[in-house]
Structures are given as C-alpha cells and as structure tokens.
C-alpha cells in the first residue's frame, strides 16, 4: 500500500519527468528546424517549428529587445496579423508584450473585447480587434535578470489557453531564450548574420529618431515619442513614419 505522501511525491516526480521529456522534444524540434537552414532562412524555420508546437493558436511572433527598452525587432511572425500586433504594441507602447517585459512574467489576455483586458490597454485592444485578434498572450524570454524579448501568441476568437498550451508556450519560450542567447554570444563567429534583415527595421527607427532630434532640437526620448504620436494619430506604424521621414516625404516640423 502506498501512503498519501509517497503517492504525492510520485505524482510530482512523474510531472517533472513529463516536463523534461516535453522540453527535450521542443528543443529537438527547434534544432532540427534550423539544422540545414541557411542563415537568412533561420527565422522562418524557427517560426514554422513554433507553429507546429502550438498548432491550436491562430498565430505567433518573436520579438527581441534592443539596447533601449523602447526599441524592438520582430525576428519572425507566422502571419500578417501576428506581425501587425507586434508593431501595434511597439507603436502604442501598451499591450500584453510591453507588460510582460515590465513584469518579467507571462501576461495573458483571453478577451480583448471586454473588461478587464479592454480596460488595461484600451488603445491596443481597439487596434487588435481591427487587425483580427480577440485574444493575445505574451511570454517573456528571460535570462537571469535580463529580458531578451517576448514570444507573443494570438487567437482570432476570445478564449483562454488550456493547461497544455500554457505549458508548451512556456517551454517554447525557454528554448527560444537559449537560442537567442547562443546567437548573441556567437556573434563573432557570424552566427548572427540571419538577424541582418530584422535589424534593418531598428536601424530605420534609430535613423528617423536622429533626424527628428536634429530638426526639432529635442532629446532621443522626445523624438521617439513624437514619431510614435504621429503614427498613432494617423493610424499607421512607427516603422512607416520612420521610412517617410528618412525618404523626405514627411517633415515632423509641420506637425
């Protein structure tokens, strides 16, 4: 006969073993996805692998933070809506992913169409609904005290993640954290060449911010706020505004 304490200990051990097996399967899936991929194909290979691991979600994206918390790079997005949601949150400075970075903890919003989620991020929720998402979930990629980025998931219909989806999402984020960390430390060996395409977005934002600083005689933070405000006021993205400034098609001084 097994006592209650022995049974409980066995249950915990079984759960931990199951988690380790799942962790290994997820890691192997990501490794196999990128093993034969040329550098520039790695982001989409990782994206396809993540989609295969979370098939019941409508879409997902992975963003990494720049040296400044206000700057991020979308490494991959499974579809246009996922990419749009990441850009909306960056532009507005609010949403599940911004809170996940600030809190260093997962933030789940199962219904963006009503309170409490709609009350937490009123601007983001309106734009998310227009983009085609009624639920959004964000898991931070944490390495010690540092947040490297976020794994962001969405559903076109409202509803919470089930326990299995939560567990897989957390483990996928852990695996991606290790991948991003490895890539970061391997930069001297050319491992980061696959990031070059994504980096161009951040470069454009920085370039436009610098131009606005000169034109308006303001600091970097104020310049970025002006860029974001212009994007929000005109229903576009910060990246679109940055490109217009760089191309000479928009003069923030006229605002």
What separation in angstroms does the CA of 192 have from each of 36, 40, 159? Answer: 16, 9, 37
Residues 6+ apart with CB under 8 A from 194: 39, 40, 41, 42, 43, 183
Distance between CA atoms of 116 and 48, rounded to whole angstroms? Answer: 32
Distance between CA atoms of 24 and 203, rounded to whole angstroms? Answer: 36
DSSP secondary structure letters along 93-139: T-SHHHHHHHHTS-EEES-TTSTTHHHHSHHHHHHHHHHT-SEEEEE
Q: Give residue-wise pLDDT tens across range 201-237.
A: 666 777 888 888 888 888 877 787 788 778 766 767 7
Q: Give residue-wise pLDDT tens across range 138-183.
A: 999 998 788 889 999 999 999 999 999 999 999 999 988 877 776 5
Distance between CA atoms of 26 and 19, rounded to whole angstroms? Answer: 10
| In the chain, where the domains are located | 14-185, 196-254
CATH of 196-254, one of 2.30.30, 1.10.10, 3.30.1050, 1.25.40: 1.10.10
Residue found under tokens 């299995």: 164
Over the chain, what is the mean pLDDT? Answer: 82
At the fourth CATH level, which superfamily is domain 14-185?
GAF domain (3.30.450.40)
Q: How many CA atoms lie within 13 A of 228 on its CB side?
A: 17
Coil, strand, or helix at residue 184?
helix
């Amino acid at each position: 006969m097994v006592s209650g304490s022995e049974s409980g200990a066995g249950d915990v051990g079984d759960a931990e073993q199951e988690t380790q097996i799942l962790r290994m399967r997820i890691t192997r899936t990501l490794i196999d996805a990128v093993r034969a991929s040329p550098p520039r194909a790695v982001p989409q290979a990782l994206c396809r692998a993540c989609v295969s691991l979370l098939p019941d979600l409508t879409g997902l994206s992975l963003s990494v933070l720049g040296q400044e918390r206000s700057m991020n790079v979308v490494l991959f997005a499974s579809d246009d809506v996922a990419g749009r949601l990441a850009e909306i949150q960056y532009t507005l400075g609010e949403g599940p992913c911004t809170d996940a970075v600030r809190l260093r903890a997962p933030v789940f919003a199962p219904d963006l169409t009503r309170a409490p989620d709609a009350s937490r991020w009123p601007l983001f929720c309106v734009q998310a609904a227009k983009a085609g998402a009624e639920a959004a979930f964000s898991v931070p990629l944490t390495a010690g005290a540092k947040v490297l980025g976020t794994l962001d998931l969405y559903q076109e219909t409202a509803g919470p993640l089930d326990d299995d989806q939560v567990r897989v999402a957390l483990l996928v984020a852990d695996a991606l954290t290790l991948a991003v960390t490895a890539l970061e430390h391997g930069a001297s060996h050319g491992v980061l060449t696959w990031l070059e395409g994504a980096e161009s977005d951040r470069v454009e934002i920085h370039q436009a911010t610098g131009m606005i600083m000169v034109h308006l005689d303001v600091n970097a933070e104020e310049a970025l706020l002006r860029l974001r405000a212009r994007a929000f006021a005109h229903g576009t993205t910060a990246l679109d505004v940055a490109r217009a400034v760089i191309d000479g098609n928009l003069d923030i001084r006229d605002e």
